[in-house]
Amino acid sequence: MSRLLPFPIFPAQASTLAPMTDALTLYLLIVSGVMTVLIAGLILYLSIRYRRRPGNEVATQIEGSNRLEVAWTVTPLAFLMVMYAWGANIYFYAYTPPPDALEVWGVGKQWMWKWQHLSGQREINDLHVPVGRPVRVRLTSQDVIHSFYVPAFRVKQDAIPGRYTEVWFEATQAGTFHLFCAEYCGTLHSGMIGSVIAMEPAAFEQWLGGGATVSPAQRGEQLFQDLGCNTCHRDDSLARCPDLAGLFGRTVRLQTGQTLTADAAYIRESILDPGARIVAGYENIMPTFKGQVSEEQVLDLIAYIQALRGGKEPPS
């Protein structure tokens, strides 16, 4: 479609999701276009054809037609159900990250994106990803709501303070693509711009290996000691708080009798608001670390707990 014009209307289709959403968008445009022309055309035609004329001043009343009623109810229903089923199918695809996805963490702040690769690389605004491999981005914000938006990938996801959100994509071609903040977040919102740089897998591995210093899990371990967490969270008889080895992804039983899965959101809450959900058998003695650790440090601590002996290996 864009080849007919001297300038592009649609951004590049650079992810596995892009052709899927574009096909559905095209269907919606065609159905809406045909309906608009049909209705407008009929109004115009019928109002001329059956206008008031001398000798035919009063219209003849025609009482209902079941066949007509059924036809104009069932036909649009069929077209709308196609939209529903097709849209739901794409929705489930877009919101179900494959289990083998490469994980990247992002923190939005006024006015930049801070990226953390789990092997150690950190970057600001620009995000490097491999082509042909699903990438799962875990987002949060340290101030207001931002929104991660890559038009060429057809993905958009809010980054919300106090919460982790996720989005995933798989780049299908190498290149540099616009990354926008799509939620008004203050004076320099329009300047909160970066790039997603999709690289061939070999080049990406090389990039990932260059300059990587300390992994988030290693920084988290240091922080765990600096903050004195290890004086209570330990595996011997002096432990006054739960041992965290193997905690990540495990089912936890709370004082209230409820159970939950210890995921990133629960660990974050336990660091910042420890009294919220106490583990069965323990007392509410942990102080809050709100204000003492940044969102990035919370992510480092999560990475450390995720990597702890007996736990699930952190995705590489």
Of the pair 136, 189, the CB lying nearest ligand CUA is at 189
Residues between 186 and 225 with contacts to ligand CUA, criterion CB under 6 A? 189, 192
Interaction between residue 128 and ligand CUA (CB under 6 A): no
Q: How far is the CB of 166 from ligand CUA (least distance, A)?
A: 18
Amino acid found at 70: V
Euclidean distance between CA atoms 155 and 178, whole angstroms: 12
Which residue intervals of the chain are DSSP H helices?
17-49, 66-94, 201-209, 216-226, 264-272, 295-307
Stretch of 10-18, 179-187, 218-226, 303-311 contacting ligand CUA, by CB under 6 A:
179-187
Size of the site for ligand CUA (CB under 6 A): 9
- Figure out which of the listed residues 183, 221, 295, 300 binds ligand CUA, where binding follows CB under 6 A: 183
Euclidean distance between CA atoms 19 and 84, whole angstroms: 18
* Neighbour tally for 134: CB within 10 Å: 19
Interaction between residue 150 and ligand CUA (CB under 6 A): no
Is residue 139 a contact partner of residue 106, using CB atoms and an 8 Å limit? yes
Interaction between residue 107 and ligand CUA (CB under 6 A): no
Which residues, including other chains, have CB under 8 Å from residue 177's CB and lie 6 or more apart?
A: 11, 12, 14, 150, 151, 152, 153, 195, 196, 197, 198
Is residue 97 a contact partner of residue 166, using CB atoms and an 8 Å limit? yes
Instruction: Provide the token pair at 228.
Output: 């004195």
Interaction between residue 146 and ligand CUA (CB under 6 A): yes
- Output the CA torsion sign for 313, 294, 234, 255: negative
Interaction between residue 185 and ligand CUA (CB under 6 A): yes
- Figure out which of the listed residues 14, 152, 155, 181 binds ligand CUA, where binding follows CB under 6 A: 181
Q: How far is the CB of 159 from ligand CUA (least distance, A)?
A: 8
Task: Enumerate long-range contacts of 91-97, CB under 8 Å, 24 or more apart.
Answer: 93/17, 93/20, 94/17, 94/155, 94/168, 97/134, 97/136, 97/166, 97/168
Q: How far is the CB of 161 from ligand CUA (least distance, A)?
A: 12
Interaction between residue 301 and ligand CUA (CB under 6 A): no
- Output the CA torsion sign for 81, 86, 87, 93: positive
Of the pair 190, 230, the CB lying nearest ligand CUA is at 190
Of the pair 17, 192, the CB lying nearest ligand CUA is at 192
Of the pair 185, 267, the CB lying nearest ligand CUA is at 185
Interaction between residue 139 and ligand CUA (CB under 6 A): no
Instruction: Provide the token pair at 219.
Output: 């920084």
Q: How far is the CB of 189 from ligand CUA (least distance, A)?
A: 4
Of the pair 86, 180, the CB lying nearest ligand CUA is at 180
Residues within the interface to ligand CUA (CB under 6 A): 108, 111, 146, 181, 183-185, 189, 192
